[in-house]
Structure 1
Amino acid sequence: MRRTLGTLAALLLAVGLVPGSTSSSVGAEPGSDPARTRWKPVPVDTDQQLRGLDAVSGRVAWVGGSEGGVWRTTDAGATWQDVSPPGADGLLFRDIEAADARTALAMTIGEGRDSRIYRTDDAGRTWTRTFVNRDPRAFYDCLAMWPGDRRGLAMSDPVNGRFRILSTTDGGRSWRVLPRAGMPRAEGEFGFAASGTCLVTAGRHRAYLASGGARARVFATRDDGRTWRATDSTLPASEAGGVFSLAFRGRGVGVAVGGDFELEDDGVDRAALTRDGGRTWTNAGDLSGYRSGVDFWRSWVVAVGPGGVDVSRDRGRTWKPFRAGPAGGYDSVQCVPAACWASGPAGQVARLVVRTGQPA
């Protein structure tokens, strides 16, 4: 997304100039476990906005920033190592896909050559630039790998009326553009590079792509990205709105969240739910405002945005605000069983952890 994406970056960068609170709060633990949960701030020492995020475990995570920075932690955020790729200064890292503490892909967004993919397999000591977009019409938004696999996809805003899909089968060492014939025509749509989750994978061969603009749809593939089917979501479409983030659990259950980033406090009809692998979507009620990221965590679903956090305790059917977080909220969320990680403006990172007396 070009003009609207630039507006998004400018607006949310302004939000990022106001640091959120670093105090911890306590909320209810997912499910029936009597333990409690809390956001534990583990910030990075940077003013960059951290939209790129991937959680490997409760101790290992990677984040990417708005001025070419990449950081990793292996001690649950107690310390962060600056592993920024050389020559990436000023680039917008919007998606990180990490296989483990040593291996990761980092994607930058932008028109033409600003859209790139970098790969490291030595914990960020060295990086290889494995893809540079040379088509001025393309603007890449999101990247997704199948967990535990060497296959993955990246997506660009429409070129000649269709979303463009990149594919890798060697862990991101090389990429190729897939034929456009299997992609339905976009109808004034684009993707939102807000949290790296406008494209997600599920199962062995499925992936899902979110759109906004003239229509707010979810595109689904069952064959590694070769062919796609588009289905209307229940989220309202607008020039600055639509579906921003997707999350799936198992083969069939999925959640979509979004809104309009110019109407940050409007949460009406900002969530949708599917139980059939994206064939149909139903309204999942209201959120507290626009939300740019969502993920499943244990018996919860967690949705984040610059205005706050919402959680669902019934797999996405209903939502309530979760007050245990910084006032400024977050942009991205990625969850593993031990913890949810969230990142956002001015180096903010936090872990939503279970307080059981043992380190998460």
Structure 2
Amino acid sequence: MRALARKVSLTGACAAMVAASFAVPGTAHAETAEGVPVWTGGLGWRVTPTGSEARFRGLAAVGRKTAWLAGSGGTVLRTTDGGRTWQNVAPPDAAGLEFRDIEAFDAKRAVVLAIGEGEASRAYSTSDGGRTWTLGFKNDEPKAFYDCMTFFDSRNGLAMSDPVDGRFRIISTKDAGRTWRVLPSEGMPAALEGEFAFAASGQCLVSHGKRDVWLATGGASRARVFHSADRGLTWTVADTPLPSGASQGVFSVAFRDSRHGVAVGGDYRPGEPSPEAAAMTSDGGRTWHPAQRPPAEYRSGAIWPRYTGPIAMAVGPTGSDLTFNAGRTWTQFDKGSFDTVDCAPDGGCWAAGEKGRAAHLTAHHPG
């Protein structure tokens, strides 16, 4: 079952337009074919052809024109023209790897994470747009299985592994992924029996600002969120109201600032119900409260840009949802399949998922 769990593992307008479009009340909407924008005068996903059949669970939105994708079969793609074309910029000899997370700082610099048992977990970095890559980390701990990573800035970042000897393992880089070191485990609370993180969207480990970072879990008797305010040296942990089990838990967390966040997840198995699979916090993750109306089905990814006020977004294999009130209620606006979502500082928002799907969020206005 643990192995099965591993398998699940916006170009938009300017920032002001995205925020304003999110907030349009009573916008007319209708269901359309998968991937076609569904809001007339509102927002919708516009799929861009990638030429790939990979499943992209790693996504980094640099801007309205530039984004990076990471996925199955060692695939890494990059666009610098708003998705009109995508270039294969994968590390050499990476075809056997499963990339599940990517962090990018601009069109040239990125770090990509491969998951798996033992040496399959790796991190590569590039500073020339993917022409060359440096292998900065190769896991040498047989018990470790790395899931997600996050960066505080263009040099300092963390990656996390499922528990090793009863505690989640954290590695740190201070040189943009060129080298990594294992952080001491003394400040990490003990894991629950069967607890792990889901490598489903690259969002089981997220950060905000210079020091705050959160780690989302499932698999055990309770779905939890860990928080560190010192870049991963010491941690606290809180229960969430999301369901938890071998295929259930918190799959993604997103924070607008150091206090306000949302958590989404559910049961990744197709056709299984996912009730109560969203929660919110206003105290930095010390306490979590269930959404009054969560997304109707499992959601694997979420994003909450600073410039959208109380508006956040979640995506999953059966659709995308918006909340206009900081996570209390969610409304579906698209039925296309996506695994992960990310927004850039300039308002460019992107989503990615199965069968090579990549899309940018567009605002539509009646002609």
Pairwise CA RMSD: 1.8
Deviates further, 303-312 or 137-146: 303-312
1:47-96: per-residue Cα shift (whole Å, max 9, x none)? 11111111011111000110011000011100001101001112100000
User: Any conservation in 2 of the 1:115–1:133 contact (CA below 8 Å)?
Assistant: yes
| Equivalent residues in 2 for 1:1-360, closer than 5 Å | 2-6=2-6, 8=8, 24-27=36-39, 36-146=42-152, 148-188=153-193, 189-214=195-220, 215-262=222-269, 264=271, 266-285=273-292, 286-297=294-305, 298-299=308-309, 300-323=311-334, 325-326=335-336, 329-336=337-344, 337-355=346-364
CA distance in 2, matches of 1:65, 1:99: 18
Q: 1:242 Cα deviation (Å)?
A: 0.3
Task: Give the partner amino acid of 2:351.
Answer: A
1:176-212: per-residue Cα shift (whole Å, max 9, x none)? 0000100000002100000000000012101000000
Aligned to 2:16: none
CA distance in 2, matches of 1:221, 1:302: 24
1:107-147: per-residue Cα shift (whole Å, max 9, x none)? 0000000000000000000000000001110000001001x
Task: Give the partner amino acid of 2:137.
Answer: F
CA distance in 1, matches of 2:34, 2:246: 34
Three-state SS of the structure 2 residue aligned to 1:333 is: strand
Three-state SS of the structure 1 residue aligned to 2:116 is: strand
Deviates further, 292-301 or 269-278: 292-301
Structure 1 23/284 Cα, relative in aligned 2: closer, same or farther at 3 Å?
closer
CA distance in 1, matches of 2:39, 2:33: 16
Structure 1 353/265 Cα, relative in aligned 2: closer, same or farther at 3 Å?
farther
Q: 1:172 Cα deviation (Å)?
A: 1.1
Highest RCO, 1 vs 2 (Cα 8 Å, sep ≥ 6) = 2
How many residues end up aligned between the 2 structures?
A: 337
Three-state SS of the structure 2 residue aligned to 1:67 is: helix
Three-state SS of the structure 2 residue aligned to 1:287 is: coil
Q: Unmatched 5+ residue regions in structure 2?
A: 10-31
User: Any conservation in 1 of the 2:110–2:127 contact (CA below 8 Å)?
Assistant: yes
Identity %: 49
CA distance in 1, matches of 2:231, 2:59: 23
Q: Unmatched 5+ residue regions in structure 1?
A: 10-19, 29-34
User: Any conservation in 2 of the 1:265–1:307 contact (CA below 8 Å)?
Assistant: no
Task: Give the partner amino acid of 2:285.
Answer: G
Structure 1 219/305 Cα, relative in aligned 2: closer, same or farther at 3 Å?
same
By percentage of residues, which structure has more strand?
1
Task: Give the partner amino acid of 1:193.
Answer: A
Q: 1:250 Cα deviation (Å)?
A: 1.3
CA distance in 2, matches of 1:75, 1:97: 19
User: Any conservation in 1 of the 2:148–2:205 contact (CA below 8 Å)?
Assistant: yes
Structure 1 23/238 Cα, relative in aligned 2: closer, same or farther at 3 Å?
closer
User: Any conservation in 2 of the 1:24–1:39 contact (CA below 8 Å)?
Assistant: yes
Q: 1:7 Cα deviation (Å)?
A: 5.0
Three-state SS of the structure 2 residue aligned to 1:246 is: strand
Q: 1:270 Cα deviation (Å)?
A: 0.5
Q: 1:284 Cα deviation (Å)?
A: 1.2
User: Any conservation in 2 of the 1:151–1:167 contact (CA below 8 Å)?
Assistant: yes
CA distance in 2, matches of 1:80, 1:245: 26
CA distance in 2, matches of 1:269, 1:278: 17
User: Any conservation in 1 of the 2:217–2:249 contact (CA below 8 Å)?
Assistant: yes
Task: Give the partner amino acid of 2:224.
Answer: R
User: Any conservation in 2 of the 1:265–1:288 contact (CA below 8 Å)?
Assistant: no
